[in-house]
Amino acid sequence: MSWHVLGAGSLGGLWAARLFRGGEPVRLILRDRTRLAQYRAGGGLRLTEGDTTSLYPLPAEAPEAGNSIRRLILACKSYDAEEAIASVAARLEPDAEILLLQNGLGSQDAVAARVPRARCLRASTTEGAFRETDFHVVAAGAGQTWIGDQLGTQAPPPWLDTLTALGFTLRWTDDIDARLWRKLAINCAINPLTVLHRCRNGELRQHASEVADLCSELAALLEAMGLAPAAQGLQQEVEAVITATANNRSSMLQDVERGQRTEVSYLLGHALPIAQRLRLPVPQLEALHQRLRARLEERGLPVD
Ligand code: NAD
Ligand code: KPL
């Protein structure tokens, strides 16, 4: 049974190359025929791991290709997810499974609403990869990927073991939304501040009280949402992530430095309306969002 990977960027490239290398039938879905021609001209997908770069001649196709899709890995950014799934919706088999790799929250519901018959599995990953050039991905640090159903009611898919054997570190969870919310909270406490202070993650240790104030409001929000376990020890984990990734530029800072749209709408922009609905005051988070939007505007980037 074939895999399709939609979005041949950093994570999509990493997943597709590993599947191909492991002997799994896998096809890339590129945005259009121009991208397809560019990809074919390069001879395939390059993956660098450590000192080794390999070229994998994965088959690729346009969204309107004729074959049907049974298992899809959706690997685009959150803000592209709904349009991307719409471009292949007509090709999905009735019992299709879609693995959603998007960070933050909000895009997963939008995708699921577009394809109500498909089984949409949500992932929260700490795997790292970046694009060296088009169709050349560099694996930037092993992480693990939690996968689950929205309602946590179904059994894990049997291919989880197959993928684990190919080198993916995958864990099944019955409460993926709690995992996604925890990661969202960590990203809200770190990423915007790295943009505002134009600093690497580790330099946030010089802004410890600002980080602590954000963590306290984020923990209160998780608790108010009935996600108390996801709130527990949040500040300590944020501090540990800051230390463990001290030398990294956050994904949001990298987006801003490259002049690309950020995923803020799926992080702070997703959390704040919920706090408002719950009538929970979160002044530090509101101020952070305002300051971030102003900075994005200054840089000529979308504020959502
Ligand atoms: P990316 O920008 O490197 O790749 C996204 C790819 O999707 C691009 O090649 C883009 O052209 C393609 N795309 C967008 N819309 C498309 C469409 N309609 N049809 C076909 N292709 C389309 O992004 P990424 O870094 O791989 O991130 C993907 C998601 O994974 C994001 O939500 C990100 O936050 C999350 N994530 C990434 C990493 C990482 O290390 N890169 C780690 C954890 C989570
Ligand atoms: O997930 C991250 C990101 O940059 O998006 C952290 C954990 C902050 C690491 O940089």
At 88-98, the pLDDT tens digits run 999 999 999 99
What type of residue is 144? Q
Q: How far is the CA of 251 from the centre of ligand 2 (A)?
A: 6
The pTM for the full model equals 0.96
Domains plus CATH for the chain?
3-174 (3.40.50.720), 178-298 (1.10.1040.10)
74 in Cβ contact with 102 (< 8 Å): yes
At 114-135, the pLDDT tens digits run 999 999 999 999 999 999 999 9
Q: Whole-angstrom distance between the N-terminal and C-terminal Cα of the chain?
A: 38
The secondary structure of residue 155, as a DSSP letter, is P
Q: DSSP letters of 114-139?
A: H-TTSEEEEEEE---EEEEETTEEEE
**Does ligand 1 have an atom closer than 6 angstroms to the CB of 123?**
no
Position 150 scores a pLDDT of: 80
Tokens of 152: 């946590």
77 a catalytic residue: no
Position 1 scores a pLDDT of: 81
Whole-angstrom Cα distance, residue 141 to residue 118? 31
**Does ligand 1 have an atom closer than 6 angstroms to the CB of 106?**
no
Burial environment of residue 185 by CB neighbours within 10 A (0 to 12, 13 to 18, 19 or more) = buried
Name the nearest CA neighbour of 104 among 177, 156, 192. 177
Residue tagged active-site, from 183, 249, 270, 289: 183
35 in Cβ contact with 41 (< 8 Å): no
Tokens of 2: 């074939």
